């Protein structure tokens, strides 16, 4: 079917008019509008969905798979980011092995955090009894300029290499060095 063209080059070909008219495809619904694309060759089908929800308690737009397949993003005909079927996100890899897997080459596997005065990355191990928070931060205000690493939760900080403890920095201020550390 050709819309705006006499020689369609696909089963549905929408061509922009001579007056720079829009080539939008419009799907409307009072509460929930969805467009699906399905590749039927594999078993099960690969289904991509574009959705818009406009209910009174939930309004958002969604893009994703409705099947057990990865969602991949690409630019310049190369894959850049993957969300696999388990929810792992890969940047620079199509096979992420962690919740966030950043892969680069030539030293460009960088996670860059920037802020005007105080940039921070936090890691939290949640447990019903206590949360352990690790913070890596950079302060760049006029009064204080420094890099910091430490806990934010009253727990010890341990430095180690090759599985061996080099130093304990205890929450009470004590320092323990080397193999004598528990």
Number of domains observed in the structure of the chain: 3
Residue 61 shares a structural domain with residue 74: no
Residue 31 shares a structural domain with residue 84: no
Whole-number Å distance between alpha carbons of 157 and 170:
6
pTM of this prediction exceeds 0.85: no
Higher-pLDDT residue of 19, 51: 51
Q: Provide the domain limits for residue 47.
A: 1-68
- Reference 179, options 162, 170, 168, 166; nearest CA is 166
- Which pLDDT belongs to residue 26? 76
What does the pLDDT look like over 25-39, one tens digit per residue? 778 888 888 888 888
Residue 134 shares a structural domain with residue 77: no
Residue at which a domain ends, from 59, 92, 109: 109
Residue 169: how many CA atoms within 13 Å on its side-chain side? 8
- Which pLDDT belongs to residue 23? 64
Residue 180 has pLDDT above 70, yes or no: yes
Residue at which a domain ends, from 54, 88, 109: 109
What does the pLDDT look like over 47-89, one tens digit per residue? 889 988 887 777 888 999 998 999 999 999 999 999 999 999 9
Residue 48 shares a structural domain with residue 98: no
What does the pLDDT look like over 153-165, one tens digit per residue? 888 888 888 888 8
Residue 64 shares a structural domain with residue 105: no
Q: Are 155 and 162 in contact (CB under 8 A)?
A: no
Residue 103 shares a structural domain with residue 130: no
Residue 31 shares a structural domain with residue 89: no
What is the CB neighbour count within 10 angstroms for residue 93? 19
Rounded mean pLDDT of the chain? Answer: 84
- Token look-up 């969602």 returns 71
Residue 5 shares a structural domain with residue 61: yes
Check residue 106 and report its DSSP letter: T
Residue 28 shares a structural domain with residue 53: yes
Residue 82 shares a structural domain with residue 140: no
């Amino acid at each position: 079917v050709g819309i705006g063209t006499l020689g369609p080059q696909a089963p549905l070909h929408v061509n922009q008019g001579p007056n720079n008219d829009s080539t939008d495809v419009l799907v409307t619904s009072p509460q929930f509008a969805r467009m699906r694309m399905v590749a039927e060759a594999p078993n099960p089908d690969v289904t991509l969905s574009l959705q818009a929800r406009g209910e009174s308690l939930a309004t958002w737009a969604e893009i994703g798979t409705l099947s057990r397949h990865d969602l991949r993003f690409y630019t310049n005909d190369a894959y850049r980011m993957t969300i696999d079927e388990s929810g792992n996100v890969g940047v620079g890899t199509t096979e992420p092995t962690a919740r966030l897997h950043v892969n680069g080459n030539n030293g460009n596997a960088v996670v860059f955090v920037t802020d005007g005065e105080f940039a921070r990355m936090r890691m939290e191990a949640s447990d019903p009894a206590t949360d352990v928070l690790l913070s890596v931060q950079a302060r760049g205000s006029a009064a204080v300029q420094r890099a910091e690493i430490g806990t934010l939760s009253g727990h010890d900080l341990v430095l180690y290499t090759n599985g061996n403890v080099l130093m304990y920095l205890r929450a009470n201020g004590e320092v323990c060095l080397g193999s004598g550390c528990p």
